[in-house]
């Protein structure tokens, strides 16, 4: 089983959990979520019973047990 983290807890992250990771519960476990907006972060963590929540991407990368990071942030204009 792979431990996953979601970065960006907006509407796109819901798709990735509900239509992606959620369909493969024997392969993925959602352990962490990250967002700079505390209210959105709290709502996502509650909705998907995510045990860890952080507001800094570096904190996700520092988690030694995270195998997969799903980036769900808006694109950056060049």
Q: Which tens digits make up the pLDDT trace of 7-64?
A: 999 999 999 998 888 888 889 999 999 999 999 999 999 999 999 999 999 999 999 9
pLDDT of residue 74: 84
Q: How far apart are CA 27 and CA 9, in angstroms?
A: 21
pLDDT of residue 27: 92
Q: Give φ, ψ of 4 to 5 degrees.
A: -115, 155
Residues 6+ apart with CB under 8 A from 43: 9
Of the CATH numbers 3.30.930.10, 1.10.510.10, 3.40.50.720, 2.20.25.90, which one belongs to the domain with range 2-71?
A: 3.40.50.720
Q: What size, in residues, is the chain?
A: 78
Tell me the pTM.
0.89
For residue 76, pLDDT over 80 is answered with no
Which one, of 43, 37, 48, lies nearest residue 74 by Cα?
37
pLDDT of residue 20: 85
Q: Are 40 and 72 in contact (CB under 8 A)?
A: no
Tokens of 30: 């959602």
């Amino acid at each position: 089983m792979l431990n996953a983290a979601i970065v960006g807890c907006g509407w796109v992250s819901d798709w990735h959990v509900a239509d992606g990771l959620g369909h493969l519960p024997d392969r993925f476990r959602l352990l962490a979520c990250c967002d700079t907006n505390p209210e959105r972060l709290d709502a996502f963590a509650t909705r998907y019973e995510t045990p860890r929540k952080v507001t800094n991407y570096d904190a996700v990368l520092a988690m030694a047990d995270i195998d997969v990071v799903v980036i769900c942030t808006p694109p950056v204009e060049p």
